[in-house]
Structure 1
Amino acid sequence: MVLSVKDRKDIISKFQTSPTDTGSAAVQIALITERIQYISNHLKTNPKDFAGERGLNKLVGQRKRLLAYLKRSDFEKYQAVTKELKLRK
């Protein structure tokens, strides 16, 4: 996988709301954003990797849906996450 266990734990601890929170929308958005950045860099060096491009598009769509959910349910958290991850929304 792209992220090491240590990197994954760092991201989760940064965005979690409680010590046992590992799957909230904010945590998922942060992890997906890291994967998107990794795949984007991969596609810059491998432009003919069409399967990787499809995977990237699926991740972008999944992140978009999670951001829409977070915006509906907790707008303050949405603003904090988009500011922290430097997402244009």
Structure 2
Amino acid sequence: MYLTSEKKAEIFKKHGGSEKNTGSTEGQIALFTHRINHLSGHLKNNQKDYNTERSLVRLVGKRRSLLDYLKNKDIAKYRELIKTLNIRK
């Protein structure tokens, strides 16, 4: 399994403030980014996996809406998160 509970807790601790703070916008964006990177690597090896491609598009849309929310709420956190996660914008 590519995403263990320890890895998930580490992501939320780094970006969300604590392991228990799974609802923070920054933590969710970081988790989506980790999942998007994993699915992108999978699709490089399996070009005809259309279900994964659909899931990837949905995840990117969810992350985009959370990034828009964060941008409207706190532009400084948004810019910092973009820089930390190496997300193109």
User: TM-score category by the smaller chain?
Assistant: over 0.9
Give the TM-score normalised by the residue count of structure 1. 0.92
**What aligned pairs does 1:10-49 form with structure 2 within 5 A after superposition?**
10-17=10-17, 20-49=20-49
Distance 1:47 1:2, change over 3 A: same
What amino acid does structure 2 have at the position aligned with 1:56?
L
Read off the aligned partner of 1:29 and give its amino acid letter: I
What's the counterpart of residue 86 of structure 1?
86
55-64 or 1-10, larger mean C-alpha shift = 1-10
1:13-49, Cα deviation, whole Å (9 max, x unpaired)? 0011356422111000000000000000001111100
Q: Which runs of 5+ in 1 are unaligned?
A: none
Give the structure 2 partner of residue 60 of structure 1.
60
Query: For the residues of structure 1 that align with 2:10 and 2:49, how far apart are their CA atoms?
Result: 30
Q: Structure 2 unaligned segments of length 5 or more: list them.
A: none
Identity %: 46
> RCO (CA 8 Å, sep 6+): is it higher in 1 or 2?
1
Change (3 A) 1:2 1:27: same
Q: State the TM-score, normalized to the length of structure 2.
A: 0.92
Equivalent pair of 2:9/2:19 in contact (CA under 8 Å)? no
